[in-house]
Amino acid sequence: MNMIIKSTLIVVTAITSNFSLANNISPDFLLNEIDISYKKYVYSSLEVGIYAMESVIRLQESDRSSELLHKTGPASLALSYLRLGLLYEKLGLNKDADKVFYKAVTSYKSQVTDSENVSLIELKKFVVGIDASIAANKNSNKDT
């Protein structure tokens, strides 16, 4: 009986999320979701961070309109993949990390540049640098 209820809930959730994703996503909504996911990535447990990053990736993948890319930046999806991969690595889920790192590099190449080769190491350094810069700015704002 419990299995039937769980299965039904999963189906209802999937249908509901598909209907909501079928509509265009506003740039402001997506930017807010990215911000929330980033905060979960930084300040929550690894599991909560993974859930948040997976959710925002689904949103980013559902609508790749030029309006959203202009507002969020073409590398936003790649950065989300990279952050998800870093969380997987911290949990020792290396196969999962490798899959999303591949998606990060592929997404970055297709959205930002198709002539330039970019390595995973370069992208990881870039994301770690951005995250450190954001953390430093937040800490300096607290001091003032």
Flag whether 111 is in a domain. yes
Residue whose pair of structure tokens reads 């079928």 in the numeric block: 22
Residue 61, in any domain of the structure: yes
User: Does 110 map to a domain?
Assistant: yes
The range of the structural domain enclosing residue 87 comes to: 26-143
How far is 56 from 53, CA to CA, in rounded Å?
5
End-to-end CA distance of the chain: 57
Q: How many domains does the chain have?
A: 1
Percentage of the chain beyond pLDDT 70 is 74
Is 89 contained in some domain?
A: yes
Decide if 38 is inside a domain: yes
Q: What is the pLDDT of residues 14-49, one digit of tens each?
A: 544 544 444 567 778 888 888 899 889 888 899 999
Rounded to two decimals, the pTM is 0.73
> Are 111 and 74 within 8 A, CB to CB?
yes
Q: Give a yes or no: residue 8 inside a domain.
A: no
> Is position 13 within any domain?
no
- On whether residue 121 sits in a domain, the answer given is yes
